[in-house]
Copies of this chain bind each other. A is one copy, B any other.
Amino acid sequence: MNELLQYIHSLTAFDTESWALLQPALTQQTFNKNELLLKEGQVCRSLFFIVKGYCKSYYEVDGLVKNTGFFFENEIATNISSFGSGQKSEFNIVACELLTVIIIDKEKLFQAAQQAPEIETLGRQCIRLFATKQEEFSNLFKLYTPQERLEYMETRHPAMLQRVSLSQLASFLGVARETLSRIRKRRSHV
């Protein structure tokens, strides 16, 4: 739980009383590789704070897997749209390795937030971080070519490149696996 507390402190002032109030909303859990945290069609009722390992969100379109996000240690994975609106999720979240998370239950989180404005603020900050990340990756596609997108990930998110395979990354960058291969080749032969 210590990782979560540090994460919270990095986002907002938080006293021991708020931390105590938050406890009922928290459950630690592990997922095996390829195990689903959230399944398409379900309503997302949790935030998943990642202690160890990583997971990804993906759509299945015409039987094909399309990765839309990767989430690593000290980040929160969730379907912000489903979590906020209560509507069914259109995508899945799956563990890519053995994964340890702290599950934050929505209903109990809201109950705690009513008793401590610090918790409400925390919730707002979490969503803000999430929105910022979405914005960053959304703009990748509008501003850059596939090659520039790869270079952006290499310079700005090197840790991700080291843990995610080329095939997985290709889907996330919206190009074919072979394209990333060829971009590498083109660059090395300059």
Q: B117 and A80: CB pair below 8 A? A: no
Contact with B along A84-128 (1 / 0, CB 8 A): 110000000000000000000000000000100100110111011
Q: B81 and A141: CB pair below 8 A? A: no
Residue of B125, B135, B136, B174 near A141 (CB, 8 A) is B174
Q: A85-B132, A132-B85 are in contact. Are A68 and B139 (CB under 8 A)?
A: yes
At the interface, yes or no: A14 with Cβ under 8 Å from chain B?
no
At the interface, yes or no: A19 with Cβ under 8 Å from chain B?
no
Q: How far is the CA of A124 from the CA of B130 in the complex (A)?
A: 12
At the interface, yes or no: A31 with Cβ under 8 Å from chain B?
no
Residues of chain B within 8 A (CB-CB) of A135 are 80-81, 134, 138
At the interface, yes or no: A67 with Cβ under 8 Å from chain B?
yes
Q: How far is the CA of A48 from the CA of B132 in the complex (A)?
A: 18
At the interface, yes or no: A61 with Cβ under 8 Å from chain B?
yes
At the interface, yes or no: A66 with Cβ under 8 Å from chain B?
yes
At the interface, yes or no: A172 with Cβ under 8 Å from chain B?
yes
Q: How far is the CA of A131 from the CA of B136 in the complex (A)?
A: 11
Q: How far is the CA of A127 from the CA of B143 in the complex (A)?
A: 23
Q: A59 and B131: CB pair below 8 A? A: no
At the interface, yes or no: A171 with Cβ under 8 Å from chain B?
yes
> In the assembled complex, how far is the CB of residue A171 from the closest CB belonging to chain B, in whole angstroms?
7
Residues of chain B within 8 A (CB-CB) of A72 are none
Residues of chain B within 8 A (CB-CB) of A67 are 142
Offer 11 A-B interface pairs, CB within 8 angstroms, sorted by A: A61-B143, A67-B142, A81-B132, A84-B128, A123-B124, A127-B131, A134-B135, A138-B138, A138-B141, A141-B141, A142-B172
Besides A84-B132, A124-B124, 7 other CB < 8 A contacts?
A61-B143, A68-B138, A68-B139, A127-B128, A127-B131, A131-B134, A141-B174
